[in-house]
Structure 1
Amino acid sequence: MKFLKGMVIAGVVMLVLGLTTVVGLYFYVKPDLPSVETLRDVHLQTPMQVYSKDGQLISQFGEKRRIPVKLEDIPQNLRDAIIATEDSRFYEHFGVDPIGVARAFGNLLVTGHISQGASTITMQLARNFFLSFDQVWMRKIKEAFIAVHIEQLLTKDEILTLYLNKIAFGNRAYGVGAAAQVYYGKPLKDLTLAQLATIAGLPKAPSTLNPIADPAASKARRRVVLLRMLDEKKITRAEFDEAAAAPVTARYHGAEVTMSAPYLAEMVRQAMVDKFGEDEAYSGGYKVYTTVDSHDQAAAQQAVWTNLHDYDERHGYRGPVATLWGPEEQPWSQQAINQYLAKQKAYGAVMPAVVVAVAQQTATVQLPQNQEITLNWRGMRWARPYINEDRQGPAPETASDILHPGEQIYLRQVAGADGTAQWRLAQIPEPSSALVSLHPNDGAVAAVVGGYSFSLSQYNRAIQAERQVGSNIKPLLYSAAFDNGFTLATLVNDAPINQWNPGSGIAWRPKNSPDVYEGPIRLRKALAKSKNVVSVRLIRAIGVDVVADRIADFGIPRERVPENESLSLGSISMTPMEVARAYTAIANGGHLIDPYFIDRVEDAEGNIVVQTQPSFACTACVADDAPYERPLKQAPQVISEQTAFLVAQAMKSTVWGGGSWAHKTGWNGTAWRIQRSDPITDKAGREIMGKTGTTNDVKDTWFSGFVSGLVTTTWVGFDDVSRQLGRTTMNSNLDRSEQAITGSEAGAKTALPGWILYMEEAVQHVETNAIPVPPGVVSVRIDLTSGKLSRRNDYTSRFEFFKAGTQPTEYADSGEDTVIYDEQGSLF
């Protein structure tokens, strides 16, 4: 009895000492304990995601990948696996598991070192949110006290939900939702028991036990998880056997990007960092919805790729990327080739390949992942040797004139005549290109492409490349002319200019391109045929300062506008975005909109934190009685509606030309190739306006054009501003339908085809109507030769538009002299 009494007293003393120690430790560490109240309103670090207008994921930014999921959306097998492996008494303890602690302490006494953990799921949650991972006793004590506080604050299900969404699973995946995506590319609900068990085994050592870093270790850990589930009677023996024997199927999956728009994604990233700061932007869980439709963006990207490849092919083949073995060397094995190709990157529309064998007019080519294809003659016959931008070698006759075994090349897929995908020899294009498409009513970006491949160059030519615009400046110049006494019917002398400059001792001789002159020409026709000397005479008549001020009205800083006559030929440098913005003012009735590409930003809970409020060109939209909850902002009017209409009319002739082909007076504008595009021209009521642009040395080529609902600018040129785009001759292997473009490159040949390719798709997704005749504009029949009124109703006349009060008052047969303007004034 004395012994038992002593044992009881000792036990009581130890209990009191233990409780006193615990209480003392609590008050000792209490000042350092964080408030767990924050867990009630916790914001998990979630990456920023960028979406298209129609909900396609464009990109994801942030070091930590996390896809928060609700507990009811987490498969029961995964919950059971986590609990069985990490904390089998989770639903029974109060945050600290005394049995687990006792077991771990006993193991420490027996072995002399810590080999078993006693951390519960709640303690792990406390460590992940509030503490470091240092292996020190004080941290473990704090962890236990915080865990008890958490259990008092949250329910078990709330704790489990936070834990499953917080902890690391390796490869930058945080939370079970991200783990499922990173390792299997699927949502949790689609994973097998074996895959769920693999994920459940990761929290112990996510960097070393993950199935990508060490498949064998991961499989062994998976078996441990499955055994614990079997012990806890969460699965049957049959389920265990099947899952334990399953192969390791994990591989790395990036974010579920469903739309490629890397230049746009980078524009969004920079805008978000500027607004929220880098840390908040990358981890705040923002969802950014852009103005870009995925169909339009895909069409824009494909148009840029196809147009650049077409340019590159007509200038010749520059040869293989590398030679892996020569004619006298042992060919590589299929495995060696596959290993080599696995290290090579695909860029834009091209993928790496290796030539294995060459026949008379075919070649056997190996693609990545051991895929072998036959490249036929049609896919390579374009490849005459490249000499320089202006010269190409003879057309090849056999495949061996082009390819040799052992060469690493690039291939791309194109649509064949029967609509099926066909392989084609390719190369990474040397020139660059950009495309910008805007909705003219409010400035929303419909599509934007900043180059051939973001992987090759992050330089966004759409918004960063200031290049000389050439004749793309002329619609802006003509708008000033129409406000200063000129009309669409005004005759200007299209004749050579030879002006002596005493200061330089040379004569400035601006030339037309082509170098053809027609004498007196109406301004409608002069703009449509892009007559350079007419533009020079206009700027002389109006004044350089007046034209410079007008160009500044279109959104270009005045200090960037050169004040000399070369301005009339496009010596000013602008970005494609600036050019497209300027043209929207012509398309929307004279209003200068502000381009924007972010529609709204939502936080992690779906609340809208940023909503772009654009200015509208639509006058009816901003009226006090407009059918909206509140009047919208009005974009400023920079040119009159009447002036915009007249410029658009001249640009319409750039596409359709004029005259009568039956009477041999027909003529084409510089953008006549659009006429051949049925998808663009076949919609009733659709009007198409455009303007080509080429610098004198063909270093920059442009086409900007619009329908009523969409304005698009394309640019093509070399990043190296010293290089010219050159010229080509006909390839004898190709018929005219396969090589419709030869001779000198120009806006109509180099940039316009890309615009057509894009607009053929984009116009199908936008409402386009005829541009209405604005108030204050009248239409009268004029004589095509003199620009005067006409009494005739035949091919010698047409109806022309004028601002009211500027229409001619004399008839062509009145006997009065015709007024023709040239640099010396009016000639009679």
Structure 2
Amino acid sequence: MSTLFRYLLWSGLVLVLLGIGALVGAYFYVAGSLPKLDSLSDYRPPVISRVLSDEGEVIAEFYRERRIVVPVARMPERLVRSFVAAEDSKFFEHQGIDLFSILRAALKNLKAGGVVQGGSTITQQIAKGLLLTPEKKFSRKFKEAILAWRMEKRLSKDELLYLYLNQIYLGHGAYGVQAAAENYYNKNVEELSLAECAMLAGLPQAPSRYSPYRNFARAKERQKYVLGRMVEDGYITEQEAAAAVAESLTIHPRTNAHSHEAAYFTEQVRRYLEEAYGEEMLYTGGLEISTTMNLAMQKAAHQAVQENLREHDRRYGYRGPERVLQESEVENFLNDQAPELDAHPPVAGSLLDAVLTGSTAQSLQVRFGNRQGEVPLKGIGWAGKVRVVAADQAPTGNAKSKESRLPLGSLLRVRVQKVAEDGRLTLTLDQEPEAQGALIALSPASGEVKAMVGGYDFYRSQFNRVTQARRLPGSAFKPIIYAAALDKGYTAATVILDTPLIYPQRGKGEWRPQNYDHKFKGPITFREALTHSNNIVTIKILEDIGVGYAIGYAKKLGIESPLNRDLTLALGSSAITPLELAGAYSVFANGGVRVTPFYVTRVADRDGRVLESINPGDFPGGTRSGQRLLSVSRERVISPETSFLITNLMESVIQSGTGQRAKELGRPAAGKTGTTNDLKDAWFAGYVPQLVAVSWTGYDQERPLGSKETGARAALPAWLSFMKAAVKAWPPSDFPVPDTIEFSAIDPRTGLLASETQSGAMVEAFAPGTAPTRYAVDEERPRAQDFFRIDMDEY
């Protein structure tokens, strides 16, 4: 053997030994700094918290990573095999590292002159995702390999798959296969077909590039690759693969279908949870929150408020296009718009920005994204006579001119009315209302908030007008004054003079309150005064019972906002929230018992442990540390007789007074309109035995709503639309009558008893011992109460 050969042999042996020594040394050097595997045995990644309606529907989710952890037992074998074939075909054979795959990837990367393929096993990917940082260094790959080998020694293959398939990112905010199944197919993992499994398994390499939303063709090619790998590995036959390729897949863009409609309610819940449990627990702890919200009612409330505001807005014409795009801007705008419309195709009710490109005698021609559409001129008469003009002409609305001029390139707000089976859209012209609205619905018996809409669009304004906006209630406050008067000896038959009032005010001239119609009716009954929302009589009643007493009464009903200590209180001059007014009306609807409104009924953690609940049965052994039983405050604050009488009076408001439009509900209902003197606030508050609802309309920056925009016109339509939908499943029912209520025939002219032969008599309800004892025929002239003028400065 030549000297040279021996030299080379010994040199090679030394190099090998040095290499082995270096590797061993590197192993011992790195091994001591590696993370422990103990955390993997108690895998508790961030998971979503879900908010549920009163019937268990998901209405909102809170999360940082949208992940729903599911056991491997729930995952179909075809799903597991799809990921193994695509990501690590030797997974069930190797011990954490696949040297052949690493060598193959290295050669491909060398040939390509860059990283085009990775050689990491599924176990290595778990190590990188859960225990290491994603930095691209050799030292990290070395640590990854060591950890993968250790993990294979400690965990079973099913345990490794559990970690991998729940941790992996699969695009569009979905972490893990369950979240991805919901994202793309609106299914649970066990419902996935082979074709759907293969498409999901193609995502880990590049979730954005292979997104079925953004590029279905690429996703389809990747699916074919996965199916081919499954055939090669013997998991499926070629026939099964061909059938999966041919299967028509429907991609369902994942949006929380109820997030927009329920946003104001769920934001109220979110604030409560963050305060109670902290931000970290809310967004990563997997809470399950049961609430009082009824989804069907919430949808009806959202629709009612939006449509009512659009109707109000249309009464004052079209304000013109949002802006006019230059010719050079049009294509850029449409190209930017297209990906979002492709990912989230428009549905009925969707609002779109569309570019005006032309017109015919029957319609406006528009483009949006990569689509074209038409806006028929029939049905947009509220915009006046619509004329399309050259791009260089100025746009106008029709509020004053009765004509709308729209230059080519105008950016129009359009609403999708219908989506045909072939995908064509029926559009109509729209615009964002400038006024705002609110609607709150409560169960008077339980205090549960069943629906809450705090404005036209939560994503345009997060200010919740139900709970945060204090506005003047106008005449909607009057029932509180009248209920207080009933407890001071007034009856529905009491006659009061509707005559002019003049109140001198030191250094401020005179206050001369007026009725809405600026007329005076002389002697009228207590019932008639409330029915027709008489201002003068209400002021006289308040003057008699005392402002301090009335304020105390309102506080007893749940009004917490500061109230003016003067006679303007009779006209609703003190700002309160819709929630406060709904709470006060709930006392009337609930037989005089005040129940504090609430939103959350139960909160459980990710392990199913109940943290709080209104149901004592959730704590069979009593509450322990970290648990609490929620108490709902119930207190009788007025008598059943008073609550019935004020309800009965407000039934007259609907039957023959300012709220007559509510008769369309077709069942017993009580309510009251509210309008401020300057028409800045419009209200309707009303109820049936099972449900109370309050509707408000106004501008955030206070200004008049417009001529004749009273509560009956600007707020009642939303209340009526909501109530029609909310109560349709309930049979009509009368308000319960306390056994102690007395009924007597009354002469409405005098408020005294009517004889059996008297014409025009009416039956009136009275609290025990308050019915008149004299007959009208015994009186020589009508009896009516009146009051002296007072100096307002005394209040």
Is TM more than 0.5 here?
yes
Counterpart of 2:436 in structure 1 is 432
Counterpart of 2:550 in structure 1 is 547
Question: Contact 1:435/1:450 (CA < 8 Å) preserved in 2?
Answer: yes
Question: Contact 1:58/1:259 (CA < 8 Å) preserved in 2?
Answer: no
Question: Contact 2:604/2:612 (CA < 8 Å) preserved in 1?
Answer: yes
Counterpart of 1:780 in structure 2 is 744
Pairing partner for 1:702 from 683, 707, 713:
683
2-side partners of 1:706 and 1:793: how far apart?
Answer: 36
**Secondary structure of residue in 2 paired with 1:462:** coil
Instruction: Quote how far apart the aligned CAs of 1:711 are.
Output: 0.3
Pairing partner for 1:538 from 541, 563, 573:
541
Question: Contact 2:365/2:372 (CA < 8 Å) preserved in 1?
Answer: no
Counterpart of 2:566 in structure 1 is 564
2-side partners of 1:321 and 1:294: how far apart?
Answer: 33
Whether 1:465 aligns to 2:469 is yes
**Secondary structure of residue in 2 paired with 1:765:** coil
Residue 310 to residue 100, structure 1, CA distance change in 2 (3 Å): closer
Please list, as runs of the form range in 1=range in 2, the aligned pairs for 1:55-454 lying within 5 A after superposition. Answer: 55-96=56-97, 119-136=120-137, 139-140=140-141, 142-144=143-145, 146-148=147-149, 150-183=151-184, 187-188=188-189, 196-206=197-207, 210=211, 225-237=226-238, 253-255=254-256, 257=258, 260-324=261-325, 350-360=351-361, 362-365=363-366, 370-373=371-374, 375-377=376-378, 379-384=379-384, 393=400, 406-412=409-415, 424-454=428-458
2-side partners of 1:14 and 1:359: how far apart?
Answer: 84
Counterpart of 2:520 in structure 1 is 517
Residue 324 to residue 119, structure 1, CA distance change in 2 (3 Å): closer
Pairing partner for 2:722 from 753, 758, 762:
758
Counterpart of 2:389 in structure 1 is none
Question: Contact 2:355/2:366 (CA < 8 Å) preserved in 1?
Answer: yes
Instruction: Quote how far apart the aligned CAs of 1:169 are.
Output: 2.2
Counterpart of 2:587 in structure 1 is 585
Spell out, residue by residue over 1:636-676, the C-alpha distance to the aligned partner (whole angstroms, 9 max, x if none): 1222222111111111110112xxxxxxxxxxx1101122x
Question: Contact 1:198/1:219 (CA < 8 Å) preserved in 2?
Answer: yes
Pairing partner for 2:753 from 775, 781, 789:
789
Please list, as runs of the form range in 1=range in 2, the aligned pairs for 1:602-641 lying within 5 A after superposition. Answer: 602-612=604-614, 635-641=634-640
Please list, as runs of the form range in 1=range in 2, the aligned pairs for 1:675-824 lying within 5 A after superposition. Answer: 675=663, 677=664, 680-681=665-666, 686-721=667-702, 723-727=703-707, 744-766=708-730, 769-792=733-756, 795-815=759-779, 818-824=782-788
Instruction: Quote how far apart the aligned CAs of 1:717 are.
Output: 0.5
Counterpart of 2:394 in structure 1 is none
**Secondary structure of residue in 1 paired with 2:60:** strand
Show structure 1 runs of 5+ residues with no match.
416-420, 615-629, 658-668, 728-743
Pairing partner for 1:501 from 505, 508, 512:
505
**Secondary structure of residue in 2 paired with 1:264:** helix
Instruction: Quote how far apart the aligned CAs of 1:276 are.
Output: 1.9
Question: Contact 1:56/1:258 (CA < 8 Å) preserved in 2?
Answer: no
Residue 589 to residue 153, structure 1, CA distance change in 2 (3 Å): farther
**Secondary structure of residue in 1 paired with 2:317:** coil
Residue range with higher mean Cα deviation, 143-152 or 106-115: 106-115
Counterpart of 1:739 in structure 2 is none
Residue 24 to residue 407, structure 1, CA distance change in 2 (3 Å): closer
1-side partners of 2:289 and 2:773: how far apart?
Answer: 58
1-side partners of 2:61 and 2:630: how far apart?
Answer: 35
Pairing partner for 2:661 from 660, 669, 673:
673
Instruction: Quote how far apart the aligned CAs of 1:217 are.
Output: 7.2
Residue 274 to residue 359, structure 1, CA distance change in 2 (3 Å): same
Q: Which letter does structure 2 place at the counterpart of 1:687?
A: P
Q: TM-score, normalised by structure 1?
A: 0.80
Q: Which letter does structure 2 place at the counterpart of 1:234?
A: Y
Residue 747 to residue 226, structure 1, CA distance change in 2 (3 Å): same
Instruction: Quote how far apart the aligned CAs of 1:119 are.
Output: 4.0
Residue 632 to residue 803, structure 1, CA distance change in 2 (3 Å): farther
1-side partners of 2:650 and 2:631: how far apart?
Answer: 30
Q: Which letter does structure 2 place at the counterpart of 1:410?
A: R
Question: Contact 1:312/1:429 (CA < 8 Å) preserved in 2?
Answer: yes
Q: Which letter does structure 1 place at the counterpart of 2:549?
A: V
2-side partners of 1:556 and 1:300: how far apart?
Answer: 23
Spell out, residue by residue over 1:379-411, the C-alpha distance to the aligned partner (whole angstroms, 9 max, x if none): 02233489xxxx954766xxxx66665443334
Counterpart of 2:653 in structure 1 is 654
Residue range with higher mean Cα deviation, 799-808 or 50-59: 50-59
2-side partners of 1:94 and 1:339: how far apart?
Answer: 48
Instruction: Quote how far apart the aligned CAs of 1:102 are.
Output: 8.3
Spell out, residue by residue over 1:236-261, the C-alpha distance to the aligned partner (whole angstroms, 9 max, x if none): 45666787899998796445658732
Whether 1:484 aligns to 2:485 is no
Instruction: Quote how far apart the aligned CAs of 1:775 are.
Output: 4.1
Question: Contact 2:448/2:598 (CA < 8 Å) preserved in 1?
Answer: yes
Counterpart of 1:42 in structure 2 is 43
**Secondary structure of residue in 1 paired with 2:643:** helix
Residue 141 to residue 610, structure 1, CA distance change in 2 (3 Å): farther
Instruction: Quote how far apart the aligned CAs of 1:465 are.
Output: 1.1
Question: Contact 1:480/1:547 (CA < 8 Å) preserved in 2?
Answer: yes
Question: Contact 2:596/2:633 (CA < 8 Å) preserved in 1?
Answer: no
Residue 644 to residue 256, structure 1, CA distance change in 2 (3 Å): closer
Instruction: Quote how far apart the aligned CAs of 1:193 are.
Output: 5.1
Residue range with higher mean Cα deviation, 423-432 or 699-708: 423-432
Percent identical among aligned pairs is 36
1-side partners of 2:674 and 2:189: how far apart?
Answer: 54
Instruction: Quote how far apart the aligned CAs of 1:127 are.
Output: 3.1
Instruction: Quote how far apart the aligned CAs of 1:747 are.
Output: 0.6
**What is the CA RMSD across the aligned residues, in angstroms?**
4.3
Instruction: Quote how far apart the aligned CAs of 1:291 are.
Output: 1.8
Q: Which letter does structure 2 place at the counterpart of 1:788?
A: L
Residue 821 to residue 340, structure 1, CA distance change in 2 (3 Å): same
Q: Which letter does structure 2 place at the counterpart of 1:748?
A: A
1-side partners of 2:196 and 2:417: how far apart?
Answer: 38
Instruction: Quote how far apart the aligned CAs of 1:166 are.
Output: 0.8
2-side partners of 1:261 and 1:631: how far apart?
Answer: 23
Residue 243 to residue 632, structure 1, CA distance change in 2 (3 Å): closer
2-side partners of 1:157 and 1:381: how far apart?
Answer: 65
2-side partners of 1:431 and 1:719: how far apart?
Answer: 7
Residue range with higher mean Cα deviation, 74-83 or 13-22: 13-22
Matched residue count: 751
1-side partners of 2:479 and 2:723: how far apart?
Answer: 20
Instruction: Quote how far apart the aligned CAs of 1:126 are.
Output: 3.1
Residue 603 to residue 483, structure 1, CA distance change in 2 (3 Å): same
Residue 322 to residue 258, structure 1, CA distance change in 2 (3 Å): closer
Residue 322 to residue 185, structure 1, CA distance change in 2 (3 Å): farther
2-side partners of 1:432 and 1:385: how far apart?
Answer: 27
Counterpart of 1:617 in structure 2 is none
**Secondary structure of residue in 2 paired with 1:759:** helix
Spell out, residue by residue over 1:509-535, the C-alpha distance to the aligned partner (whole angstroms, 9 max, x if none): 111112122111111111111111111
2-side partners of 1:300 and 1:132: how far apart?
Answer: 48
Instruction: Quote how far apart the aligned CAs of 1:207 are.
Output: 5.3
1-side partners of 2:357 and 2:30: how far apart?
Answer: 75
1-side partners of 2:558 and 2:762: how far apart?
Answer: 35
Question: Contact 2:337/2:368 (CA < 8 Å) preserved in 1?
Answer: no
